[in-house]
Structure formats: structure tokens, C-alpha cells
Amino acid sequence: DQQVKQNSPSLSVQEGRISILNCDYTNSMFDYFLWYKKYPAEGPTFLISISSIKDKNEDGRFTVFLNKSAKHLSLHIVPSQPGDSAVYFCAAYSQGAQKLVFGQGTRLTINP
Amino acid sequence: AAGVIQSPRHLIKEKRETATLKCYPIPRHDTVYWYQQGPGQDPQFLISFYEKMQSDKGSIPDRFSAQQFSDYHSELNMSSLELGDSALYFCASSSGLAGGPSTDTQYFGPGTRLTVL
């Protein structure tokens, strides 16, 4: 039972354009969501997070949107840069569980 | 800033051997998590410790065991290794139950790549 789903295994975007990565979840008990970025053979790096009481959080080029009624969140990267090419994991967290549930990841490729 | 340290970074073992992976959390973090990421798969939660006690258990095989020591570092012990244990093993740390959402964010180490031949 995949509680966090990233239905797009890969995404290609032109440099300078907007990258939109999507994530859906099924467990309404999740109260905190995070995005991680991962380069090959390295550990995931925390990017940005959002609490369930918010619907938007922005940090520089990265913005995360949360739609609780649809159980959907998205990560927007604008403008996209070549260094953004990596695998992006969506993760969901509940205070009670004290662990993260990861999605399958989306490989983002930024084309020059 | 200090990050999560994992050792060794690479480990090659043969089937039926044992392996011990070590994790040193960020200073003042009291919670440690272990994840396993197989080739082409998303990270799977194995086990976590808070204040040296096991706090949660995921899909950790019975052949594996783990503990957290008084200095908060953690070790993942893997016995009777199988080919399918070949994976990246990540350790993450956080400040545990004390703070709000921002302090519960998990910070990951670089991972240990285990290859079982």
C-alpha cells in the first residue's frame, strides 16, 4: 500500500522554465510534508517543507503547494537550472509515527 | 555545520557474512532512523531510535538488528547476508520529540553502499 505516490517517474524541462513535480498521498493523518533532492550515490538532501496548516511555502526558487482536500502537493522550481537535475522525493510525516514515508521519486532532467 | 556521518561509505561482503554499519547523528540530535534503498527503489524505513530506545520498526528483516548507544550513535548489524541486501543504507537524525515540525526534519547521512557478492 503506497501511501505517498509520485506518479511521474521522470520529467524533462528546458533550462529557465518552470519544473512542477507532483505528489499524492492517501493518509489524512500526515501533518507535515517534505521534499528531498537526491544525486546519485548520495544521501537525500532536504529542500523544503510545508505544514498541513498551510497551503503554500516559498524558499527562493522553490515553492511547495499543498491541497489537503485533494491530498496533493506539488513542488515548483522556477527558473529551472541544470544543477537541479536530480531525483526528487516527496515525503510525508505524522507526529505520532515519527518517521517519513517516501514517494517513489521523480527524476528531473533540466535541458540546456 | 556538522552533518550525519556514516561509516563505512562502501562495504563489500559475501553471502552469509555479517556487516556492521555505523551512524553518527548531528550533535544534539537524539533520534536516529535507518533506511534501505535498493536499486531503482525508494527508501524503505527500517527502524528508529529515540533516546537509546527503539521508537519504531519498519520493514527490517529478522537477520538485522540495531541499537543506539549512550553517545547517540547507532549501529545496524546485518547477519547471514543475502544478495538482496545489496543496497544503499541511509541513516538520518533529528531532534526527536522535543520540538515543532522544523526540528523534526530528518537530516540524512551520505549513505553506506553495501554490496553482497
CB B106 within 8 A of CB B48: no
Residue A16, min C-alpha distance to chain B (Å):
28
Domain limits, chain A = 4-107
Q: Within an 8 Å CB–CB cutoff, is residue A7 touching chain B?
A: no
Cβ neighbours of B88 in A, within 8 Å: 41
Q: Within an 8 Å CB–CB cutoff, is residue A45 touching chain B?
A: yes
Q: Within an 8 Å CB–CB cutoff, is residue A41 touching chain B?
A: yes
Residue A28, min C-alpha distance to chain B (Å):
17
Summarize the confidence of residues A88-95 as an average pLDDT: 83
* Cross-chain residue pair A45–B108, CB shorter than 8 Å: yes
pLDDT band at A95 (very low <50, low <70, confident <90, very high): low
- Domain boundaries B5-116, corresponding CATH code: 2.60.40.10
Given a cut of 70, whether residue B29 has pLDDT beyond it is: yes
Which has the closest alpha carbon to B88: B110, B117, B62? Answer: B110
pLDDT band at A83 (very low <50, low <70, confident <90, very high): very high
CB B21 within 8 A of CB B6: yes
Q: Mutate one of B21, B31, B34, B108 to test the A interface: name it (highest A CB count within 10 A).
A: B108
Summarize the confidence of residues A79-97 as an average pLDDT: 86
Q: What is the DSSP string of A58-93?
A: EETTEEEEEETTTTEEEEEESS--GGG-EEEEEEEE
How many Å apart are CA B30 and CA B73, to the nearest integer?
Answer: 9
Number of neighbouring beta carbons within 10 Å of residue A82 = 10
Summarize the confidence of residues A40-67 as an average pLDDT: 86
pLDDT value, residue B98: 39
May I ask the CATH class of domain A4-107? Answer: mainly beta
Given a cut of 50, whether residue B100 has pLDDT beyond it is: no
